[in-house]
Amino acid sequence: MTKWGMVIDLEKCTGCQACTTACAMENSRLPGESWQDVLFYHEGTYPNVKLSWLPRPCMQCENPSCVAVCPTKATYKTEDGVVLVDWDKCIGCKYCMIACPYGVRFYMDEKPVVQPDLREVFPGDGDRIWNPPYKMPDHLEDRKKGIGIQPKGVVSKCTFCYHKISKAPKGVADLDEDDPQTREYVPACVRVCPPKARYFGDLDNPNSRVNQLIADKRGVRLKEETGNKPQVYYLAGGGAPVIPGERSRGRG
């Protein structure tokens, strides 16, 4: 059975945010509420400052706490290993947001993060929260999978671009933008990454590129102590902590 996963090579990532922009365009995200974001961290004080960054989609956990806590099973895991939200079942209780250790879930009805409030500039029709000028064709939207423009009063998250990857040929090991056979099925954030720091493939296939990278370059998962077992792996050059803690940065 396919188990989709992502590998992000931090030694190649330039922090350019192309992934963030592509995800926002592909999935109609409001500015500041990005399913994919690049988190920046700075340590020390001038002139001894270290800047680091971390691209962060949903970890599509193998053992997702968001699924476990959702009282209505609105959040669920597909057979091919992707965590999705059924917007018709979500009651907006936000327990999944409380229970996600990676802070990757969004309730789009909050105060705007940037001005002007684009929900007022492009008001939504029906229960869509807005109607952006950039949006996927209506026929690709799927409320049962949390794909498309978010309705009011529900929670959303990265879908691993399920509207793309679920149409990939069965049994394929990797979805690679350089391969004309699979290009159309590659998640938006992976496809646009200029230094090719992101890889997408089947973690259950021993021959997949993602598995080779994880093995060869000692891929790590974030916050292993939570038991969530992310399906997003980071290549950090081996041994280095992927992100500094708040307290070790002297912020806490």
Partner 1 sequence: MATATTLRAAFKPSPYLIGSAVLFVLAFVYAIYLEVTLGHVAFNTTNYGVFWGFPIVAYDYFLLTSTGLALVASLPLAVGIRSWDPVAKRCVWLAIAALVGGVAILFLELPHPLRALWATPINLQTASPLFWKILCVGAYTIVLALLAYAFGAGRGPAEVPRILAVVLGLLALAITLIAGSVYGMLVFRPFWFGSELPVVFLIESFMGGIAFFIFFTYAVHGFVADNLSENTRRLLAGPLGIAAATAVFLHLLFVLTRTVTGLWSYGEGMEVWRYTIAQPLYWLALIGGGLVPLVVFALPSLRAQPWLQMIGAFLVALGLLASRYEFMINGQLVPPFKGSWAPPLLEYAPSQLEWVLLFVGIFLANTIYAALESWSSTRER
Residues within the interface to ligand SF4 (CB under 6 A): 22-23, 26-27, 35-36, 57-61, 64-66, 69-70, 72, 74-75, 83, 85, 90-96, 100, 102, 104-105, 155, 157-161, 187-189, 228
Q: Are 223 and 49 in contact (CB under 8 A)?
A: no
Choice between 33 and 142, CB closer to partner 1: 33
Residue 79: other Cβ atoms inside 10 A: 8
101 binds partner 1 per the rule CB under 8 A:
yes
Contacting residue, 44, 98, 178, 207, with partner 1 by CB under 8 A: 98
- Cα 167 to Cα 182: distance, rounded to the nearest angstrom: 10
Closest separation in Å from C-beta 185 to partner 1: 28
Closer residue to partner 1 (CB): 183 or 251 = 251
Q: Which of 13, 61, 154, 232 binds partner 1 (CB under 8 A)?
A: 154
Q: Is residue 121 within the footprint of partner 1 (CB under 8 A)?
A: no
Torsion of CA 67, 155, 103, 30, to 10 degrees: 150
Q: How far apart are CA 95 and CA 243, in angstroms?
A: 25
68 binds, among partner 1, ligand SF4, none (CB under 5 to 8 A by kind): partner 1
Q: How do 37-43 and 106-107 pair as beta strands?
A: unpaired
Residue type, 86: D
Residue 111 CB, shortest distance to ligand SF4, in Å, is 18
How far CA 69 is from CA of 41, 81, 95, 98, 130, in Å, comes to 30, 18, 7, 9, 28
Select the residue interacting with partner 1 from 103, 194, 195, 241 (CB under 8 A). 103
- H helices of 36-155, where? 65-69, 95-99, 118-121
Query: Closer to partner 1 at the Cβ: 2 or 150?
Result: 150
Minimum CB separation of residue 174 from ligand SF4 in Å reads 15
Residue 46 in the binding site for partner 1 (CB under 8 A)? no
Q: Closest separation between CB of residue 234 and partner 1, Å?
A: 13
Count interface residues toward partner 1 (CB under 8 A).
53
CB-side neighbour CA atoms (13 Å) of 89:
14
Alpha-carbon span 161 to 175, nearest angstrom:
12
Helix, strand, coil share of the chain (percent; to 5) = 20, 20, 60
Q: Sign of the CA dihedral 122, 125, 128, 132? A: negative
Among 25, 78, 80, 95, which residue interacts with partner 1 (rule: CB under 8 A)? 95
53 is a contact residue toward partner 1 (CB under 8 A): yes
Contacted entry of partner 1, ligand SF4, none for residue 135, CB cut-off 5 to 8 Å set by kind? none
